[in-house]
Amino acid sequence: MNNIHKTAIIEDGAQLGDNITVGAFTIIGKDVKIGNGTTIASHTVIEGKTTIGENNQIFSHAAIGTIPQDLKFDGEDVELIIGNNNKIREYTLFNPGTIGGGSITKIGDNNLFMGYAHVAHDVIVGNNCVFANVATLAGHVEIDDNVVIGGLTPIHQFCKIGSNVMVAGGSVVTQDIPPFCLAEGNRAVLRGLNLNGLRRRFQDRSDIDAIKKAYKAIFESGNSISDVAKELLETNENKYVHELANFVIATKRGIPFNRK
């Protein structure tokens, strides 16, 4: 049984699952689909072709699925997909995709978006990420799993953030940040590995040791980072080293590190 406040507006065509709560003065558009157990607080707007999974918590004054902040957008059929068990706090803004970016913005599971966080058009977010207050993801940004973005941190369009990365609060990210790394500054640069995050998630210390050696070889040897990464793919069998090396080889915006 759903708990819908009498002042909420649910447009004809909206599809709501079971055990959903909708707060006062919230508006849910006709093309919205919401999964079981999701709670939506007061004064929230959810519109457009938006699909929200199960057991999400959406807090008051969130704007979900409103049209992209892209001047090229002209009413095309675009989509926002949100997974399960996400916490979306007050005054957050999530936009759907655009034709130029594949038409989909997609968010995974178990993420926390703190107040005023922004997810722009064509963004892809993985699972188990934390976005602190006013973290701002520009269009076409890609965020892998287990990432922490500090407060008041903008990420430039088309940037990619690898898995298990931590970006310090107040940073400005304009280039790609490889997996397992810690980045900080305006403009953000690599400050080493996110060792606290790795120790929490990796049970086998040999994996952490392998990542440490690979990081030093790539970013501290003074040699071409792409050449070192290619060599590691040929000589090292560790899957996390391969993840790091493949990211370095594939980067399009470059990686910000202090060359020796």
Q: Which residues are annotated as catalytic?
A: 121-122, 139
Question: In angstroms, what CA-CA distances link 53 with 28, 56, 108?
Answer: 15, 7, 9
Q: How far apart are CA 47 and CA 89, in angstroms?
A: 17
66 CB-near residues (< 8 Å, 6+ apart):
45, 47, 48, 93, 95
Is there a contact between 122 and 104 (Cβ–Cβ < 8 Å)? Answer: yes
Strands 188-193 and 181-185: antiparallel
Distance CA 140, CA 135 (A): 15
Q: Residue 118 phi/psi, 5° resolution?
A: -125, 130
Across the strands, what pairs with 101? none
Tokens 């980045």 locate to: 183
Tokens of 8: 């909420």
Residue 42 in tokens: 């007061």
**In which order are the strands placed within the sheet that holds 33-34?**
15-16, 33-34, 49-52, 79-82, 104-107, 124-125, 142-143, 160-161
